[in-house]
Chains A and B, each alone.
Chain A
Amino acid sequence: MKKRQLLMQLAALAVCIALGAVMMIIGRGHTVYLDNKTLEDYQGQTYKAAHKIVVTVDGKELTKLGPRERGMSPCIGQSFKMSLEITQEKGGEPETRVIQLDLPYGMDGIIVNLPALLAGLPEEAWMSEFIPAPEPEEPDEEVPGEGDEFDIGGDLGLDDGLDIGGEM
């Protein structure tokens, strides 16, 4: 009886850990930045930006990108699917392509260079990591959340830190 209980507990623990692991994989969020930018001098070749690219993700039009423009899409999970409607030259006939990308797990922000991607170049040519500039510490102002905390203590301008030492 005791043994069965222990077994059950271990099984529950295993299920929790497994569930956690699954969540870590399917829930990993990335931000995909889509650049319609001319890639210059990659192994001696230049890949020109298209005149216009319409990006559709999940059936919704995300952005229209002209040359040297950047679009952004959040993505949960390691697989990013988008459909592109590319117009190479002004007045040209648009061409639609559906592209699925496998995103690397360790990268938060991923820059994808569309011209290079469309030209079928290897991954390192069109993918690079987006490293955000470290944002400065925000001043101690109240965040405009919609919290319903009681505004006690700190928020009433009383925490001058001079009292005999409250607990907060």
Chain B
Amino acid sequence: MKMKKNLFGQSSDFLQNNLVPIMFIIICIICYPLAGFSPSYLLNEIVTRMGRNIFLILSLLIPIMAGMGLNFGMTLGAMAGQIALIFVTDWQIWGIPGVVLAMLLSIPFSVLLGMMCGKLMNMAKGREMILGYMMNYFVGGLYQLVVLFIMGPIIPIKHASIRLPRGYGIRTTVNLTSLRQCLDNEFAILYKGVKIPVLTFIIIGALCLFILWFRRTKLGQDMRAVGQDMEVARAAGIKVERTRIIAIIMSTVFAGFGQIIYLQNIGNFPTCTAHTQIGMFCIAALLVGGASVEKASIGNVFLGVILFHTMFILAPRAGAAITGDAMIGEYFRVFVSYGVITLALIMYETKKRRAKSQGGQLLAQAQREGGVRS
């Protein structure tokens, strides 16, 4: 009897923990025949998007490990990456050397922005996510200031092809023709209409290995300790604030690299708006993969990218097939992405609150017992 209950409890636990991925699998299965895409087209799209997005999403893992929640501030890294790309385009560095140089150049910007974000997050403990989210907009304003007004008169931009005709500022779109898919095309394998960007996947694999290794280092262990309980970690002699700042800096730097990989695949970017949605849909993808605000693994990233982007490709067509209006599908996928994040946040907060009240009850009980004894 007891075992049965246990089994039932387990399966309902499994359901609860994997509710979102299961929901997405069902949505994808329903949408697939309605959309009517050929398997090879769909597979090609998914593989492309995996190469494009996974690096960005992996950058979210480290702050989660450090207990700082979903790093909505990863957008700062994306901006750093874009600034680096603007320079590389202006200096006319092409191909893989261009990408490598852009990554190197993005590091100082990312570190600076990450440090700022981390420091502010330390001032707003418990509100890291909303702070990171607002930082997007705030730093987005600074980014616009730099890109539209400071680049040109103060930071020299030589090339008329990326400068606005008025003489300062960057054009609305930066063309990355000379960098376009240079990583993806290196050692690419074409198999039955599916292009596999081998080098990009190797880079992603390297980052995965790095994260796995990093978890075992002293710093990684410290981060996990800080994520478990800040006060305990502090008592154990860990520099909590410093560890948290490092976690955010690492995330920002990786997000910068990720954005460069993302944009070299796309081949151009709207100067002022390319970064705005990136945090949102990376976070949505990670959550779709079954991650939560306090726990995420590399497996979640891969599963999430596949499920989220399958839905993303299928939904407009399927929506059009059902309702006869393509816009409904578009709105539907936006709704689902936001809905997933909302759901994950709600589940996280209720769980946190339950744990807190449970802790309180235990404490009260202990006190009562102690009172009896004395």
Contacts and interface: CB of A to CB of B under 8 A. Distances in A.
Interface of A: 16, 19-20, 22-24, 26-30, 74, 76, 108, 132, 134-138, 140, 143, 145-154, 167-168
B104 A23 contact: yes
Contacts of A132: 160-161
What DSSP secondary structure best describes chain B's contact surface?
helix
Interface in B79-101: 91-98, 100-101
Interface residues of B, number: 42
Given A108-B92, A137-B164, A146-B266, 10 more contacts: A19-B104, A24-B101, A27-B94, A29-B94, A76-B94, A145-B266, A150-B277, A150-B333, A151-B330, A167-B140
B277 A23 contact: no
Interface stretch (B13-21, B117-125, B170-178, B229-237): B170-178
Q: Which 10 A-B pairs have the closest CB atoms?
A: A27-B97, A29-B94, A27-B93, A23-B101, A23-B97, A167-B137, A20-B104, A134-B160, A76-B94, A149-B277
A32 to B, nearest CB: 13
What DSSP secondary structure best describes chain A's contact surface?
loop
B173 A143 contact: yes
B268 A29 contact: no
Given A24-B101, A137-B164, A29 B281 contact: no
Contacts of B96: 27
B273 interface: yes
B329 to A, nearest CB: 11
A134 B167 CA distance: 12
Given A29-B178, A145-B268, A148-B49, A23 B334 contact: no
B72 interface: no
Contact of B101 (A27, A140, A146): A27
B152 interface: no
Contact of A23 (B100, B107, B159, B161): B100
A147 B266 contact: yes
28 contacts: A19-B104, A20-B105, A22-B97, A23-B93, A23-B98, A23-B104, A24-B101, A27-B97, A27-B100, A27-B101, A28-B91, A29-B93, A137-B172, A138-B171, A138-B173, A140-B172, A143-B173, A145-B268, A145-B269, A148-B309, A148-B312, A149-B277, A150-B280, A151-B334, A153-B276, A154-B273, A168-B137, A168-B140
B300 to A, nearest CB: 20
A105 to B, nearest CB: 10
Q: Which of B93, B161, B333 has the most CB of A within 10 A?
A: B93
Contacts of A135: 160-161
A134 B100 CA distance: 29
B97 A26 contact: yes
A136 B95 CA distance: 26
